[in-house]
A and B are shown apart, each in its own frame.
Chain A
């Protein structure tokens, strides 16, 4: 929540309107802390929106931060709201440890036992194994239906679409190089430094390693399916903390406050498929959205395709180039085509920058706006795969 406040304050500070004028505050967040069960409302209050601005939290796993924008966009499109603050926040480093169900049951019995004798009796039921916690984060990254870890779903796609270990590592190295270059040129304009109460400055994500080579990455052991898997810590997204916010405004709000819009949300799409191949979410979400808007591959000047795993990104690209897949799954009459690497994740992505789950969907939308403006492009797509077998996509027009 501290990160959401640190990200939101500079944004609100430069606005000509007051924080109390928001109609709603919507925050995407996946791993919610037990002491702040509705972080959206907590953020609204801590950002100075006052007691009368409602706040709530949306959760669509890796797309939560985009979901918040989508809800706000639709509220405004419906005419029910004019000014909405939509964000994403995640502090994966603070994910709590969980105790087993057996340990919880024992503790409950112990606490409700009345009297010393009963307590003692209950205490006797304790087993050392009760003390072994599991990291809630790891549980969250395993699909509860197909019982596969997210990394395993990437392995399935790598196998299905013939993505080699080398191709994945090469993609990962490029992601780091691009991000480092973007840092160097100050292209991450949307980024605000955070200062911790202990005086530490966090002015960039510390996961970028431009000096990495494909040869170095090749030495890493597979993270999920040893010994033959292709998905390694080096070609997967990094688990990090982060927060981000977008201000959504109606025409009326623009006029009233003299706001200069940076972009327009043209459309959005949610789609789903089997959880074991969740990595193809971007393909099944973006393609019909573009078709609906009469846009072809060439019309899209910039893509932010969230880098959950290098193999997963490459599988999406391969799927779009695969005519059989495009015909049978997407209902196209031929392959969608090959994405131009100069338009895809031009400043790196979650592999180099990190993937604070609830934040990423929000961040790629903001960054896409900056990329489109920089490249002088008009239309762009921000899209991500979503654990549980879904895809989300948002069509953005730079103004």
Chain B
């Protein structure tokens, strides 16, 4: 029998990866000061290799400290007169991931912000004016400020795994370190604007087509590419200089393109909620043919966005996401094989997502015909997400249909995703526990049954945890990790870590009816139905929620989720919570009985065509009162969850509701919104609604403890 020798296997595996090419120091090295983040030496050709290795950080970011040292480095290099400068990251994971976002938090005054931005701009100008060829060698992530640094070099050499982009828009910003004009100077204007407006990253190949980089090479040819650039033999193309680009930059072309861009942006975000893309389009419309003017206009526009409420909230959410992700980094998950029981929509999609993310997955159901649709959806998902040849097939190979349940004995994690029926689940657990490895975790994807109930008959309840995914699994970023009294802490941490490894955001919640997301969302959805009951058009209800900032109105959301699913969750919550939950209108159940389940059947609250609801035009904008009526029940339920300690903090509520339901991100989440608006004001509004519409609006007892921080 073959024995795997770890040393040998590791040594063989190392042969398949190529370490960073950095030629050694050679000859006399000019004097240099001491630096924390930047290190450099001259190679045998007299080329300066300037390496960024940010101290005490796993990833390079452009902090003020790093920028200041870059300035000093450039000053010394100007004196040393190397033949050329090569800027590259010494970290394996990438070039530069962007600015140090933490430093944004303290900026509230636009003028002060402008001052600090100018210091960074001057350093990049100094790099651009360097009297010898300059080039950036880019591997891995090269985002935001990192890309702006690279754009200030004369050449950009991308390794084939490079990912370039301007994610600033996700934080309510546009590029601010000369990225707007420097990208438009070299790249195809359409590609550059799309990158800045959408925040989507470009892979190396696309980045070259767009003109962001001059050449794409595997690591083994990096040094040859550098030598070619130093010798002036590297061919460069400038898509920014083509006839098409010139046409698009003309006054008429800009007008036309800007209108198109605004239309596209409007489909994603409203200007009053998310001003950044519109500010970027304005910059282009006004100065797209005049780089000096664009350069001058970028800074004040950026400073204004940086100090705006929207950006502040989005930056806060960035850190909330980071915080939740970090909770999943306390321990390793120790999971390589995941066994999923139940190949329905949820089970099948969880299995597919886990296989996509590199896990070995067995998917169990009673007959092949139940598993087959899940394999088809998985194959489609892999084809869409894994574009490198062979990757999609490898993912399919990792996803094994398992009629006999043989995967149970091999799995490190067993996820149950069978129908929401206690008896069925219990019998599944009995079979599973008999075959599972002692170290394996047993998880349920239940959305409505308390974990204590399910854990009651287990042999080893300490290893039983809730891992609650939302539908559609591939799209929803949040996963609730549900704890219960008997749960071993280490199992909870492994579950959080597993969710992290799936590239999802884990939120620890306590077992309670509906956990956080369904518990807080359901009163909002039910209120929408009650409004409709009273004769308000679905279109008006949805418009009110969207005007508040929800990505999609509650009626459309219910149709998309499926009215049957909504009815089930509402029913369970009502039976668990009684009066706290509004009564389900009778016609709702009738609709479900009739088979009008929403988007999936083509008919629900709306008629659906080509995956879109057919909405009538509204005669007038929705009344502002309607917003409160819909949103405040969600806030009220959030506070009830806090009071019941379903989640640990207001931040967790905000993170859960924004990442789990898309709750108006620029408002920062339900608790943040309540704080910004004023607790007293929210409680008063709830009181008024209770007087008008009934006790379901009665402010939760938890509000009293919150109080306004004046």
Contacts and interface: CB of A to CB of B under 8 A. Distances in A.
Interface in B404-447: 404, 406-407, 410
Contacts of B624: none
Interface string B470-493: 000000000000000000000000
Contacts of B410: 13
B360 interface: yes
B379 A13 contact: no
A5 B403 CA distance: 16
B1 A53 contact: no
Contact of A201 (B362, B368, B406): B368
Interface string B391-406: 0011011001111101
A23 B2 contact: yes
B2 A197 contact: no
A13 B406 contact: yes
Contacts of B3: 21
Contacts of A5: 397
Nearest to B383: A197
A326 to B, nearest CB: 44
12 contacts: A13-B407, A22-B2, A46-B393, A51-B12, A52-B9, A52-B12, A53-B2, A193-B401, A197-B379, A199-B376, A201-B368, A201-B369
A367 B456 CA distance: 45
A9 B404 CA distance: 12
B97 interface: no
Taking residues whose C-beta sits less than 8 angstroms from the other chain, chain A's interface range is 20 to 34
Interface string A1-23: 00001000110011001001111
Given A52-B12, A201-B368, A203-B368, A256 B401 contact: no
B451 interface: no
Contacts of A10: 400-404, 406
Given A10-B406, A13-B406, A193 B368 contact: yes
Contacts of A82: 1
A198 B372 CA distance: 8
Query: What 4 pairs between A and B have smallest CB-CB spacing?
Result: A199-B376, A197-B379, A193-B368, A14-B406
Nearest to A257: B1
A48 interface: yes
A195 B372 contact: yes
Nearest to A1: B393
Contacts of A50: 4, 9
B446 to A, nearest CB: 26
Contacts of B360: 48
A13 B372 contact: no
A21 B376 contact: no
Contacts of B372: 195, 199-201
A193 B2 contact: no
B385 to A, nearest CB: 14
Given A14-B404, A51-B12, A256-B1, A46 B371 contact: no
Interface in B547-579: none
Contacts of B332: none
Interface string A21-39: 1110000000000000000
B375 interface: yes
B4 A20 contact: yes
Contacts of A9: 397, 400
B373 interface: yes
A138 B391 CA distance: 34
B599 to A, nearest CB: 20
The interface centre, meaning the residue of A195, A203, A253 with most chain B CB atoms within 10 A of its CB, is A195
Contacts of A180: none
Contacts of A256: 1
B579 to A, nearest CB: 46
Contacts of B362: 13
Contacts of A51: 12-13
A50 B2 CA distance: 11
Given A48-B360, A201-B368, A193 B403 contact: yes
A51 B379 CA distance: 25
B1 A23 contact: yes
A265 B170 CA distance: 66
A47 B396 CA distance: 11
Given A10-B404, A48-B360, A51-B13, 19 more contacts: A9-B397, A10-B402, A10-B406, A13-B402, A20-B4, A21-B4, A46-B397, A47-B397, A52-B9, A52-B12, A83-B1, A83-B2, A193-B401, A193-B403, A195-B368, A195-B375, A197-B376, A201-B369, A256-B1
Interface in A86-128: none
A272 B680 CA distance: 96
Interface of A: 5, 9-10, 13-14, 17, 20-23, 46-48, 50-53, 82-83, 193, 195-201, 203, 252-253, 256
Given A13-B407, A13-B410, A203-B368, A197 B4 contact: no
A52 B2 contact: yes
A36 to B, nearest CB: 12
A340 to B, nearest CB: 34
Given A23-B1, A53-B2, A197 B400 contact: no
Contacts of A23: 1-2
Contacts of B9: 50, 52
The interface centre, meaning the residue of B372, B373, B393, B404 with most chain A CB atoms within 10 A of its CB, is B372
The interface centre, meaning the residue of A47, A82, A198 with most chain B CB atoms within 10 A of its CB, is A198
Contacts of A199: 372-373, 375-376, 379
Contacts of A198: 376, 379
A357 B376 CA distance: 29
B608 to A, nearest CB: 23
Nearest to B13: A51
Contacts of B1: 17, 21, 23, 82-83, 252-253, 256
B16 to A, nearest CB: 9
A50 B10 CA distance: 12
Interface string B131-165: 00000000000000000000000000000000000
Interface in B1-57: 1-4, 8-9, 12-13
Contacts of A47: 397
B341 to A, nearest CB: 15
Interface in B357-386: 360, 362, 368-369, 371-373, 375-376, 379
A170 B301 CA distance: 88
A197 B376 CA distance: 5
Nearest to B379: A197
B648 to A, nearest CB: 40
Contacts of A252: 1
Contacts of A83: 1-2
A353 B406 CA distance: 27
B375 A197 contact: yes
A50 B6 CA distance: 13
A9 B407 CA distance: 11
Nearest to B376: A199
A63 to B, nearest CB: 27
A83 B2 CA distance: 8
A50 B402 CA distance: 21
Contacts of A22: 2
Contacts of A14: 404, 406
Nearest to B380: A197
The interface centre, meaning the residue of A10, A53, A198, A252 with most chain B CB atoms within 10 A of its CB, is A10
Contacts of B407: 13
A18 to B, nearest CB: 8
Interface in B625-657: none
The interface centre, meaning the residue of B2, B379, B401, B403 with most chain A CB atoms within 10 A of its CB, is B2
Given A195-B368, A195-B401, A21 B2 contact: yes
Contacts of B400: 9-10, 13
A53 to B, nearest CB: 6
B508 to A, nearest CB: 33
Contacts of B2: 20-23, 52-53, 83
Nearest to B410: A13
A200 B372 CA distance: 6
A356 to B, nearest CB: 20
